[in-house]
């Protein structure tokens, strides 16, 4: 069994990734400070001999140096992953997302890690009207969060070029699925919508709802991470479904799936830092085997199951 690291492994995406890695017979070290991650996300794994959980932060370089010893891959998911939260507290986002990423790369370099797979974000593209987004487009970050993710990408590129550390940057497009926290004030749109609809309340849409997103089911993201690690891929890759969905359409699909047709969304003022449209060109990621399997409806059905509905 190869030993691998998942930073932020008690979070939404990180815990799903830990599941996928254990299923492929990896020995997984989960690092999480539980600031936004939750032990309940990995509770089912803690008795497994393939899992080691360490409560700690990527801001601690000595801890990372110790834990990375003997590992093959590092899946770096740890981050403050919220545009509104980064606007409210840019210094915190900087410390975790930039300094933390630099620490991960330093520890990976010093311990001979084979490859670092870095969780980046489609937010680096900003509000360019050009669709779909391709990796060679000039980034235009519109929030502190987007700046931190782009900075992490540049660090990954420099560590590849200067220290010959293989790195892959995966630009996630609106990931959703089971274990995504609906209770945070910074929760993503899908868990917020589901919570409201199942409670018989109207989902809140910021703006006119015609903004579009490329919603990507978390299990497809897990597959992308593992394929990126096990292949010869390096560089920057979009990870989405390559399907444009308006927020209005998303609300209608969820209302239909929940069987509560009387609910109607309500609209509020647009939020600062939000982009209007987002759509991934995934041609480059397909080259290392990435092929999203879950349609929007399939993914939403799987997500609804975890809220007590099938």
Class of residue 207 by CB neighbours under 10 A (exposed 0-12, middle 13-18, buried 19+):
middle
| Sign of the dihedral through C-alpha 229, 233, 234, 239 | negative
The label of the residue with tokens 């939020």 reads: 271
Q: Is 145 a catalytic residue?
A: yes
Point out the catalytic residue in the list 73, 118, 125, 145. 145
Tokens of 25: 């017979």
Task: Look at phi and psi of residue 243 and say left if phi exceeds 0, alpha if psi is from -120 to 50, else beta.
Answer: beta
CA dist 51 and 63 (Å) reads 18
CA dist 20 and 40 (Å) reads 17
The label of the residue with tokens 């003997």 reads: 70
Cα–Cα nearest to 80, from 67, 66, 95: 95
DSSP class of residue 184 equals S
Helices (H), the chain: 12-23, 61-67, 83-88, 90-93, 100-110, 144-163, 189-198, 218-230, 247-258, 283-286, 296-305
Residues known to be catalytic: 145
């Amino acid at each position: 069994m190869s030993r691998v690291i998942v930073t932020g492994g008690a979070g939404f995406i990180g815990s799903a990734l830990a599941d996928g890695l254990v299923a492929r017979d990896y020995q997984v070290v989960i690092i999480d400070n539980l600031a936004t991650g939750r032990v309940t996300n990995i509770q089912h794994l803690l008795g497994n001999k393939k899992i080691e959980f360490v409560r700690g932060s990527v801001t601690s370089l000595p801890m990372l140096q110790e834990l990375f010893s003997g590992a093959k891959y590092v899946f770096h998911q740890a981050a403050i992953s919220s545009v509104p939260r980064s606007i409210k507290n840019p210094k915190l986002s900087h410390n975790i997302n930039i300094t933390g990423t630099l620490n991960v790369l330093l520890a990976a370099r010093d311990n001979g890690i084979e490859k670092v797979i870095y969780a980046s974000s489609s937010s680096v593209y900003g509000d360019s009207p050009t669709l779909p987004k391709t990796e060679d487009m000039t980034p235009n970050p519109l929030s502190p969060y987007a700046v931190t993710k782009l900075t992490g990408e540049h660090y990954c590129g420099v560590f590849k070029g200067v220290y010959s550390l293989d790195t892959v940057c995966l630009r996630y497009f609106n990931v959703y699925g089971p274990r995504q926290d609906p209770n945070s004030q910074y929760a993503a749109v899908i868990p917020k919508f589901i919570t409201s609809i199942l409670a018989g309340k109207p989902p809140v849409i910021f703006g006119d709802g015609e903004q579009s997103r490329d919603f990507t089911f978390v299990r497809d993201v897990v597959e992308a991470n593992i394929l990126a690690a096990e292949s010869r891929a390096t560089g920057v890759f979009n990870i989405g479904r390559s399907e444009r969905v308006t927020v209005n359409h998303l609300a209608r699909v969820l209302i239909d799936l929940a069987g509560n047709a009387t609910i109607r969304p309500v609209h509020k003022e647009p939020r600062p830092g939000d982009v209007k449209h987002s759509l991934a060109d995934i041609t480059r990621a397909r080259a290392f085997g990435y092929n999203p399997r879950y349609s929007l409806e399939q993914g939403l059905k799987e997500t609804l199951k975890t809220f007590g509905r099938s």
